[in-house]
Amino acid sequence: MAYKYLVKTTEAVDGFPTLKDILHFEGKNGPDGIKRKSPAVDEPWHFYDPFDVEDTELLTIIRKHYDELVVQLKNGKPDRAAFDAAWLAHAVVDGLTPAHHFPYEERLTELRGAEALDRSSVKEKILIPGENAGESMKKNWAMWGFGGLMSMHAMFEGGVAVILAPLSMKTAKPSDGDLELLFEIGIEEYFKRAAREIALLDMYDRFHEKGWTTKLVRDVRNELGPTIIKTVCMFWYSAMRDAGLLRTKK
């Protein structure tokens, strides 16, 4: 959808990666593909606290892929730019998703201990050890059972996908005002503002409390989906602009 609106916002996407090439770097070739491998080394960490000014890890990842995307576009290498276009989009989507605003690392540390993210095998990524069988079962239920840390995360994101899949989301197309604001404040500040606006809706907390309510579904349709799509589209658009490829429709 973001690519569709990128095409509509520009005269042409010549020099920008094709949608097929971008999607090649999703799934097993995307950031989530690394998480299925072992050991757990250099895994992209896409959780973000919109209200913690010291939480800059995801902002650094976004900036890194954005800058490299611009470089590859300037060099006339859209095939290589596809990787950064895809990984940039993935980081932006995760960073704007309410489930990724949840203090996941803090909760994971409570279950696993201080070395929560230091796991050297697939088994260690899935199973949480305990001092005895009872404690191990309790910890793993808190992780994977009904209402568990990971199960709730997956249920929320799965629900969002189902809600958004059939929608055209015409409000996700960037306006001239949206683009002017982005160029004025830059991608990092724009991302931070968008993340804060989504976080203030408390969607993930509301999901924890009552599941999928009519109001929550409406907020996903009208606020979350359009904001995510618009932001990805605008960051790609901005990269084309910085690379000198942009021809805006009149």
First to last CA, the chain: 22
In a domain, 221, yes or no: yes
pLDDT value for 38: 52
Q: What is the pTM of this model?
A: 0.86
- pLDDT tens sequence for the chain (250 residues): 999 999 999 877 889 999 999 999 998 888 877 766 655 555 666 789 999 999 999 999 999 999 999 999 999 999 999 999 999 999 999 999 999 998 777 776 777 775 555 555 555 666 777 778 888 788 877 778 878 878 888 999 999 999 999 998 999 999 999 999 999 999 999 999 999 999 999 999 999 999 999 999 999 999 999 999 999 999 999 999 999 998 654 4
The residues with which 10 forms a beta bridge, in sequence order, are: 248
Q: pLDDT tens-digit profile of 28-41?
A: 888 877 766 655 55
Measured CA to CA, the distance from residue 10 to residue 240 in angstroms comes to 10
In a domain, 137, yes or no: no
Amino acid at 237: Y
In a domain, 129, yes or no: no
In a domain, 121, yes or no: no
Domain residues for the domain of 65 are 2-39+51-103+150-242
Which of 11, 4, 55 is CA-nearest to residue 249?
11
In a domain, 110, yes or no: no
pLDDT value for 123: 57
Which of 223, 173, 218, 167 is CA-nearest to residue 195?
223
Structural domain total, the chain = 1
pLDDT value for 44: 67
pLDDT value for 250: 42
Measured CA to CA, the distance from residue 233 to residue 221 in angstroms comes to 17
pLDDT value for 88: 97
pLDDT value for 185: 97
pLDDT value for 121: 54
In a domain, 133, yes or no: no
In a domain, 211, yes or no: yes
Write phi, then psi, for 142 (nearest 5 degrees): -65, -20
- Please, are residues 61 and 31 in contact by the beta-carbon 8 Å criterion? no
In a domain, 139, yes or no: no
